Amino acid sequence: MKPILIILFLFLFSSTVNAQQQFQLDDDLVYAVIKDPQGYVNIRQTPSVNAPVISKIYNYSVFSCESNKTNWWKVLYIQPDNHSKANWVEGYIHKSRVLILNNWRTPGKKDSLSVIVKQAIFEPKKHQLFYSKENPNNIRSELSKIDGKFFWGTDGEIPKEVISQIEVTIKGNLINIPKSGFDDLYEPHLKNISICHGPDNTIFISMSNSDGAGAYTIIWIIKDNKYYGRYIDDSMV
């Protein structure tokens, strides 16, 4: 079967667009990046400048943030391009270092920025499937890796569809998204795409995929017309 080709034309940011809207994850969480001249921000174990540092967030990396009325905001963060589902970091950063990503937009009709997403049927026989046992009695085995990698889109079941290619074009310049940026992403929803322009010539492209226990959001990060990295959020599962 031939891959399904979807071409989406997305608006570039304009100061004349509709009022700002936060990309809501649930009642409290939004997506954000840091703003700090040092290029990184410490994640602290508790909401205090004296609390132990448990990780760092670097410029242009996306994280999930719980904004509130205090000076310290709770964050959920996983290292960009990390292929493990269990490496979430939960901690606090000062709100003065947070830049919430606003103006997420659905696809428009202008062609100054375009995204081409190719979706294909997943063919198990062409891949190495790795299974794990759910309990010591081996009552049920679950798919844990595909071609040696963790994957997103199902809860231990063989996926049906895969993202096979992504191309981003900005003002006629083709931005190459490497295979490692999408070859572990399954059960795509081609209509669930949004974009947001961030600081320092960054563009964030979001796609929410799958359903139920396999649901996740992928955010590709473009910096200076080059692929910078990605952020995968399955924290709502």
Q: What is the reported pLDDT for 135? A: 58
> What is the pTM for the complete model shown?
0.83
More confident position, 33 or 114: 33
Q: What's the average model confidence in pLDDT over 192-208?
A: 92
Q: Lowest-pLDDT range, 13-27, 96-110, 202-216? A: 13-27
pLDDT at 18 over 60: no
Q: What is the reported pLDDT for 11? A: 34
**How many Cβ atoms are within 10 Å of 109's Cβ, its own excluded?**
7
Domain ranges of the chain: 4-12+107-233, 29-100
pLDDT band, very low/low/confident/very high, at 138 (cuts 50, 70, 90): low
pLDDT at 29 over 90: no
Q: What's the average model confidence in pLDDT over 190-200?
A: 90
Q: What is the reported pLDDT for 85? A: 58
3.40.50.300, 3.50.50.60, 1.10.357.10, 2.30.30.40: CATH of 29-100: 2.30.30.40
